[in-house]
Structure 1
Amino acid sequence: MFISRIAQLFCIFFMGINFSYSQVDVVYSDLVWSDEFETNGALNATKWHHQTQIPAGGSWYNGELQHYTNFLTNSFVENGVLKIVAKREVLNNQGVTKQFTSARLNSKFAYTYGRVDIRAKVPTNQGTWPALWLLGKNITEPGGFFAATHGTTPWPACGEIDIMEHGITQSQPQGYIQSAIHTPSSSGATINHGGTIANNLGNSFHVYSMNWSPFQITFLLDGVAFYTYNPAVKNASTWPFNAAQYLLLNIAMGGVAGNVPSNFNQATMEIDYVRVYQNIQADTQIPTNFTASIGAITSSTIELLLNGTDNSGSLVYGVTYGTNSTTTAGNSGIQKSLVISGLNPNTNYSFSINASDLSGNNAANNAIILSTSTTGVTGCAGTSNLAQQGSFTTGYNYAFETLGTNSVKITYELLDTDKVGLIAYLWRQSPFAETQMTNVSGRIFTHTLTGQTPGATLNYGVKFAYANGMSVTPYYQYVVGNNCNLDTDQFSNQKTIILQNPARDVVLFDQSTAIENVKIYSLLGQKMLDINQPNSSLNISKLASGVYFVIIQTEQLIYKEKLIIRQD
């Protein structure tokens, strides 16, 4: 190695002080397990297990092409670095002949909560799939180190945490590495993931880190966080991460990584060290300087600003309001923003807030009580089943809400229940852009646009992606700061249907085209009527006097008109 171990440890400590406190919720500082790969030759057998048994069916998962071996030619230590080598090599093993060999290492150490740092140089050869990751100790996977003694749970119920993968996202820019979470809530699919660019990947060492607390999992590259997994609801489906996991290091070949070129010979992943940190020191000191105040308020959210200090470096905040409660963690001496969502407009809420450390020591001034009210709604909403791509079986709810003066919160709820592995992306019409939305709960997704100009017109739609397909809404127009009905780019100005306007009791249509559907909305976007295949008149006797919008759909056209109702 090119720098001394003492110098490396100092650099890691310095990096933790400068970066970790502001980017992770819990700081872990006690080194509990590591391998520095100091001895040339075979791996330390007290720390690592070679997983070589082929799964049922005679092949590894995802259509991979390799045999994993315990050969010294596939995994060995040289000059202070572990080398995992994938190579073109014909091998008949367990009755199956394959064209490639590699190594898949299991740590004989498993842990719950903490931080892992792996300094590695990752191969970028086409067709290779290097990975640094974790699986639940309870997985029922043949040949795994813990399977015989602890295997009770199949994948993905055991949970999987991918610290770093490369080679399976060919559509991404050069140097892109991915981190991902696999749980039953996504049916094991790669729905929850993030990524970033590693400079000079393949030629330089980088530190790949994962910080795992009881509250969230954060991924870092060279000490900088780039993706956090923190589901709103944590249960066995979304959060199987309250039990021990073990580490895996490997290079797979082909499959999801694509074709292996005919001129491929071998590729090597070099690992300088693997280090796991937890907090194991006894802690009897209580948190001090605990404060709580109200931050930003909208019609559906209230921000709580929390702070305190503790010798452990981390605090846990528990918040109770009505019959609801939530818990989050923050760093000592750094203000934590906790946004309570799903609230009702123009409603008063009272919050009881407690602070403690991870050892359960409570702040002396628990609990702090805060009360405030949400604001009224500035925005508009509706329900539709229209699609510009794919189709909807039931439809979706949508809402655009102006927060403050220059932010717009966009929320979509998919009403279809027949779609699995759901994820949503916000589409901007011009210039086109795609942004992943946050899953609030169930099938509800949201994203907030900041820095918007009051009075400006936005054009956004949503792509719902799911197993084996996708459905995309039209682009809806919304004026920042307005209470209004939403418009779509599909509306036509062709007057093939004429309304009697103003109207009383009934609205009459003078039409030359058959009408498939009529919807009437209030100015605030509330749907008042939804009629399929109406006659030449529509009963509106139950609607109060006022101004409405009518959306009329024919086989080929959709258009909107203002409707004035006078019932006096």
Structure 2
Amino acid sequence: MKNTTPYKLLLSFFLFCQFGFAQVDVVYNNLVWSDEFNSSGSIDSNKWHHQTQIPAGGSWFNNEVQHYTNRLANSFVDAGALNIVAKRENFTDQNVTKQFTSARLNSKFAFKYGRVDIRAKVPNGQGTWPALWLLGKNINEDGGFFDSNFGTTSWPACGEIDIMEHGIFPGQPLNYIGAAIHTPSSSGNTINKGGIQASDISQNYHIYSMNWSPNQISFLLDNVVFYTYNPTIKNSSTWPFDADQYLIFNIAMGGFAGTIPANFNQTSMIIDYVRVYQNTATDTQAPTNFVASIGSITGSSIELLMNANDNSGTIAYTISYNGESFTVYNPSGNQKSVIIPNLLSNTNYVFTITASDMVGNPVANNPIILNATTSFSPQCSGTSNLAQIGSFSSGYNYIFQTNGTDVKITYNLLDTDKVGVVAFLWRQSPFTEYQMTNVSGNSFTHTITNQTIGSTINYGVKFAYSGGMSVTNYYSYVVGSACAMGVSAFTELNQLTFSNPIGDVIEINSTISIDNVEIYNLLGTIVVKQESNTKRIDVSDLQSGVYLISLYSGEEKIVKKIIIK
């Protein structure tokens, strides 16, 4: 549509391949639908539907204050671009008068899997909320183009994919654009989101893209991925994205976008083109040169490395182990690294790997079977229902596992009466909160890095759920230990003292009785156990070095690091 020299086209294609295709799991090559906006005047009614019907209650969602209209004043094509215009004006429609108008366009084209590229200039003024996004074709939303024939499902069960939004991110600078996923597992103020700072979006054209495969959804700004959604467990709650979606372009006013300035008159979103790509050619050629090998190994993970070639440009690798199976996708000829997490330490695993193209043509040398054993990884684990905030009906499991100088912390909520659970790791001092990664069900994990072997760390977990939250007690773990940990609390055991470094004997000063003493080396092996005369422990037989001492009194326990000279 725009005047572009052959050299520039070739350069753009090269850059797109290098910096766009290389970052997504599936490359889509065939243009299946587009609008270049070459005909001035009204929008193409064969491709677009004006959604103007107000939802029940007389207002659009999120406290927005605009009317959407089908007038040329709010949407038109001019000089090779679509203009969506938001204006300040008194306008009455459906017996409701509002002070602002805009346009909301539905594509009459819906699709499953593919890539969307939208080249646009986007308004960035206060109070404006421009958006380029998709909704499930099956959404039950009166006034939407597909509603009358396909509207069977409420939001967010239909799934929502936000390619680009601006103006609704408090605390972020001007020109920060966001992408988001809304599903039953996380809707409204979703946790499934990413963002990136762009150069002036109102004055500069940018390409806003979404690449949607059966495995993941990636978002790109100017052909560079900045956020990818790929839930470990894909079901109707986390992945309603195995059915058709359609495009929506609009500018909302007010609501989450904040107060509209008194001097606001009008603003425009200018869209140069929108293009949808899929892979449509019939493919009968199977992949070749399939290889697979073992990469790095830790106490809880094994890396698998795979590569193959195919004319379609994309390889599907299916990995099976321990009765589980999943598929990942990668461009042809590029090595794919997959790290299998949450494994038991010092345990052998067998992986069966097959490769095929996107239509299921299998490689000739399927399957490749790999064996690998995780390394020994000191860890401690336990079960409790203790809470410092709220309460637990059944409790939780916890695992602290040392891998090199990293500690992987995993908590599994056992309560079955809590829904919509997310988890945050709490460091006791200085207090810090980290969002944990969902492994499966209500199991969550987070890894803290660059820890000192023999040091003591104190962590708990906040489980947030529909209607409230519960926070576990803080647990003390000695890095590198298997097993020396306990509840971190200010008890009388915290007040005991002894000289450190230590010679041949540990003399403990304490006003309370000590029932049992255990000393561990840093491999987690008990080297001293004493249940009598527990305030004087002979360590003359131990070699010089760092050890961990556990002291018990009743139901209380404390772990300290000791140095034997």
Give the Å deviation of 1:40. Answer: 2.2
Give the Å deviation of 1:27. Answer: 0.8
Which amino acid is the alignment partner of residue 443 of structure 2?
A: I
Aligned CA distance change for structure 1 residues 9 and 471 (closer, same or farther; 3 Å) = farther
Which amino acid is the alignment partner of residue 167 of structure 1?
A: G
Give the Å deviation of 1:15. Answer: 3.0
Alignment partner, residue 517 of structure 1: none
Separation in structure 2 between the aligned mates of residue 249 and residue 36 of structure 1, nearest angstrom: 15
Alignment partner, residue 121 of structure 2: 121
- What TM-score, normalized to structure 2? 0.83
Matches for 1:434-449 after TM superposition, within 5 Å:
434-449=433-448
Alignment partner, residue 135 of structure 1: 135
Alignment partner, residue 146 of structure 1: 146
Separation in structure 1 between the aligned mates of residue 389 and residue 200 of structure 2, nearest angstrom: 39
Alignment partner, residue 513 of structure 2: 499
Aligned CA distance change for structure 1 residues 426 and 262 (closer, same or farther; 3 Å) = farther
Confirm or deny: 8 A CA contact 1:67 1:98 kept in the other structure: yes
Which amino acid is the alignment partner of residue 31 of structure 1?
A: L
SS at match of 1:106: strand
Give the Å deviation of 1:282. Answer: 2.1
Aligned CA distance change for structure 1 residues 487 and 41 (closer, same or farther; 3 Å) = farther
Which amino acid is the alignment partner of residue 512 of structure 2?
A: I
Confirm or deny: 8 A CA contact 2:124 2:174 kept in the other structure: no
Give the Å deviation of 1:354. Answer: 0.7
Confirm or deny: 8 A CA contact 1:209 1:223 kept in the other structure: yes
Give the Å deviation of 1:408. Answer: 2.6
Confirm or deny: 8 A CA contact 1:550 1:562 kept in the other structure: no
Alignment partner, residue 295 of structure 2: 295
Confirm or deny: 8 A CA contact 1:307 1:332 kept in the other structure: yes
Does structure 1 residue 63 correspond to structure 2 residue 67? no
Separation in structure 1 between the aligned mates of residue 202 and residue 447 of structure 2, nearest angstrom: 36
Aligned CA distance change for structure 1 residues 3 and 483 (closer, same or farther; 3 Å) = farther
Give the Å deviation of 1:470. Answer: 4.5
Which amino acid is the alignment partner of residue 104 of structure 2?
A: R
Does structure 1 residue 24 correspond to structure 2 residue 24? yes
Aligned CA distance change for structure 1 residues 322 and 419 (closer, same or farther; 3 Å) = closer
Alignment partner, residue 244 of structure 2: 244
- Quick check: 354-363 or 200-209, which moved more? 200-209
- What TM-score, normalized to structure 1? 0.83
Confirm or deny: 8 A CA contact 1:301 1:342 kept in the other structure: yes
Confirm or deny: 8 A CA contact 2:286 2:310 kept in the other structure: yes
SS at match of 1:185: coil
Deviations 1:343-396 (A, max 9, x none): 334332222211010021111111111122233331223344555666655543
Separation in structure 2 between the aligned mates of residue 58 and residue 336 of structure 1, nearest angstrom: 51
Separation in structure 1 between the aligned mates of residue 215 and residue 193 of structure 2, nearest angstrom: 17
SS at match of 1:149: helix
Which amino acid is the alignment partner of residue 265 of structure 2?
A: N
Alignment partner, residue 558 of structure 2: 561
Superposed CA RMSD: 3.1
Deviations 1:399-427 (A, max 9, x none): 22222x23332222233444443333345
Confirm or deny: 8 A CA contact 1:380 1:524 kept in the other structure: no
Alignment partner, residue 502 of structure 2: none
Does structure 1 residue 272 correspond to structure 2 residue 272? yes
Confirm or deny: 8 A CA contact 1:138 1:146 kept in the other structure: yes
Alignment partner, residue 421 of structure 1: 420
Give the Å deviation of 1:131. Answer: 1.0
Confirm or deny: 8 A CA contact 1:286 1:361 kept in the other structure: yes
Separation in structure 1 between the aligned mates of residue 101 and residue 514 of structure 2, nearest angstrom: 77
- Quick check: 492-501 or 315-324, which moved more? 492-501
Which amino acid is the alignment partner of residue 106 of structure 1?
A: N
Separation in structure 2 between the aligned mates of residue 202 and residue 480 of structure 1, nearest angstrom: 51
- Quick check: 375-384 or 435-444, which moved more? 375-384
Alignment partner, residue 54 of structure 1: 54
Give the Å deviation of 1:8. Answer: 6.9
Give the Å deviation of 1:210. Answer: 0.8
Separation in structure 2 between the aligned mates of residue 443 and residue 133 of structure 1, nearest angstrom: 30
Give the Å deviation of 1:173. Answer: 3.7
Deviations 1:175-213 (A, max 9, x none): 322211111223665132222222333332221111100
Alignment partner, residue 408 of structure 1: 407
Alignment partner, residue 372 of structure 2: 372
Which amino acid is the alignment partner of residue 397 of structure 2?
A: N
SS at match of 2:185: helix
Does structure 1 residue 87 correspond to structure 2 residue 83? no
Which amino acid is the alignment partner of residue 171 of structure 1?
A: G
Does structure 1 residue 481 correspond to structure 2 residue 480? yes
SS at match of 1:316: strand
Aligned CA distance change for structure 1 residues 43 and 486 (closer, same or farther; 3 Å) = farther
Matches for 1:390-409 after TM superposition, within 5 Å:
392=392, 394-403=394-403, 405-409=404-408
Aligned CA distance change for structure 1 residues 401 and 93 (closer, same or farther; 3 Å) = same
Separation in structure 1 between the aligned mates of residue 553 and residue 136 of structure 2, nearest angstrom: 52
- Quick check: 452-461 or 297-306, which moved more? 452-461
Separation in structure 1 between the aligned mates of residue 120 and residue 456 of structure 2, nearest angstrom: 47
Separation in structure 2 between the aligned mates of residue 347 and residue 95 of structure 1, nearest angstrom: 70
Aligned CA distance change for structure 1 residues 131 and 232 (closer, same or farther; 3 Å) = same
Separation in structure 2 between the aligned mates of residue 9 and residue 135 of structure 1, nearest angstrom: 32
Aligned CA distance change for structure 1 residues 561 and 406 (closer, same or farther; 3 Å) = closer
- Structure 2: which 5+ runs fail to align? 497-509, 518-522, 526-547, 561-565
Does structure 1 residue 349 correspond to structure 2 residue 363? no
Which amino acid is the alignment partner of residue 27 of structure 2?
A: V
Matches for 1:193-208 after TM superposition, within 5 Å:
193-208=193-208
Confirm or deny: 8 A CA contact 2:515 2:552 kept in the other structure: no
Confirm or deny: 8 A CA contact 2:478 2:559 kept in the other structure: no
Give the Å deviation of 1:154. Answer: 1.8
Aligned residues: 519
Does structure 1 residue 337 correspond to structure 2 residue 340? no
Separation in structure 1 between the aligned mates of residue 387 and residue 44 of structure 2, nearest angstrom: 58
Aligned CA distance change for structure 1 residues 62 and 393 (closer, same or farther; 3 Å) = farther
SS at match of 2:256: helix
Which amino acid is the alignment partner of residue 425 of structure 1?
A: F
Give the Å deviation of 1:112. Answer: 0.7
Aligned CA distance change for structure 1 residues 85 and 232 (closer, same or farther; 3 Å) = same
Give the Å deviation of 1:52. Answer: 0.4
Confirm or deny: 8 A CA contact 1:191 1:421 kept in the other structure: no
Confirm or deny: 8 A CA contact 1:474 1:489 kept in the other structure: yes
Separation in structure 1 between the aligned mates of residue 150 and residue 265 of structure 2, nearest angstrom: 38
Aligned CA distance change for structure 1 residues 242 and 70 (closer, same or farther; 3 Å) = same
SS at match of 1:410: strand
Confirm or deny: 8 A CA contact 2:515 2:553 kept in the other structure: no
Give the Å deviation of 1:461. Answer: 4.4
- Quick check: 18-27 or 386-395, which moved more? 386-395
Deviations 1:262-286 (A, max 9, x none): 3332222222211111111222222
Separation in structure 2 between the aligned mates of residue 10 and residue 449 of structure 1, nearest angstrom: 45
Separation in structure 1 between the aligned mates of residue 495 and residue 286 of structure 2, nearest angstrom: 71
Alignment partner, residue 566 of structure 1: none
Matches for 1:527-546 after TM superposition, within 5 Å:
none
Confirm or deny: 8 A CA contact 1:381 1:485 kept in the other structure: no
Deviations 1:455-496 (A, max 9, x none): 555555444444455555566554443334346664353579
Give the Å deviation of 1:429. Answer: 5.8
SS at match of 2:232: coil
Which amino acid is the alignment partner of residue 498 of structure 1?
A: I
